[in-house]
Amino acid sequence: MTEKIIKKFTLSVNNDLLRYSYLAFLGINVKSGFTDQVIEALSSLDEVLELHEMFGRFGLFLKVRAKDLIHMGGIIENKIGVLPHILKLKLMSILKTKKEEQKFVEV
């Protein structure tokens, strides 16, 4: 029963001390039929912490970490925005994080 419960083990680091204190979400719309291709490319970027396929205003929703706003601009301009088949990007900056964790919920 407990086999394969833990998919991945990670550490939580102090990103401020590492000088990666800028956190944002990115909403992305992708040309129809190319979502899997864009997901594969985005998944290879170290700055992309989470990638979710969504239903709603954006087809993809990313959690991205950078050193600062200028660094984030470079990531968007040189790594994400240059990918083919991306139609629209929307940056949503995080002001403060009050809670960030993953829990096991027993059902």
pLDDT digits (tens, 9 = 90+) for 35-81: 999 999 999 999 999 999 999 999 999 999 999 999 999 999 999 99
Among 62, 60, 30, residue whose Cα is nearest residue 45: 62
Within a domain: 72: yes
Nearest to 90 by CA among 30, 48, 23, 27: 27
Indicate the pLDDT class of residue 106, thresholds 50, 70 and 90. Answer: low
Instruction: Give the Cα separation of 14 and 30 in Å (integer).
Output: 33
Asked whether residue 61 is domain-assigned, the answer is yes
Does 105 reside within a domain?
no
In the prediction, which pLDDT does 5 show? 73
Domain that holds residue 54: 22-93
In a domain, 100, yes or no: no
Q: What is the CATH number of the domain that holds 71?
A: 3.30.70.920
What total of structural domains would you count in the chain?
A: 1
Looking at residue 101, what is its pLDDT? 75
Residues sharing a CB contact under 8 Å with residue 22, sequence separation 6 or more, in sequence order:
65, 66, 67, 68, 69, 71, 72, 93
Domain-located, residue 17: no
pLDDT at 21: 80
